[in-house]
Amino acid sequence: MLAYVFWHWPDSGVDETTYRESLLSFHQTLASHPSPGFARSVVFSIHSASWLKTDGPAFEEWYLLQDSAALDKLNQAAVSGPCEAPHNRVAQQAAGGVAGLYRLRTGQGNLSDSKVAFWFNKPRGLLYSDLYIGLEPLTSQDGVALWTRQMTLGPTNEFCIHTSKPFEPTAGIVGESVALSAIWSGLKNS
């Protein structure tokens, strides 16, 4: 599974509630008119992520995809047809945004119950195989997912662990925890 992840924040003259409503309208429309290979989206409200050019409210959208071919189809579907007007409305209200591409390494790509995203890089000198073994006690737990950035596309560190509860990282791993508040999970009753 791949995830296209997009971070953005409202322009200073746009009310956060209005921005959120526009964003949710877009995701509702996209869920009703999915492109081939698009599984669903999950949207989080976040604050204080170091890679964003805002100290105010921001949003983190995860578009879950079957494979990389689905990315082109999503890109087209998100800005045309029934999604065009809702997409344009929220895009016009945004002050800025950055994006990245991530692959699910281990765990489940559900994300709906995630409360924490821990972003980190592999410690220098540590082999990837040793990193994965060291993380296994955490990543083998229910509700935990390990994502890895693809082709250095994105502003964040190389890895992201999503979990429903805070945790202590393995010795030697330093990163940034970002609190997540799900506002859209792409599931009924979201």
Supply the pLDDT for residue 190: 39
Q: How far is CA 11 from the centre of its chain?
A: 20
What digits encode the pLDDT tens for the residues 145-162? 999 999 998 899 999 999
Supply the pLDDT for residue 109: 82
What digits encode the pLDDT tens for the residues 11-38? 999 999 999 999 999 999 999 999 999 9
Mean pLDDT of the chain: 94
Q: Is the dihedral of CA 128, 129, 135, 136 positive or negative?
A: positive
Q: Is the pLDDT of residue 187 over 80?
A: no
Q: Give domain limits for the chain.
A: 2-184
**CATH level 2 (architecture), domain 2-184:** 2-Layer Sandwich (3.30)
Is the pTM higher than 0.85? The answer reads yes
Q: Render 118-136 in DSSP notation, one character per residue.
A: EEE-PPTT--HHHHHHHHH
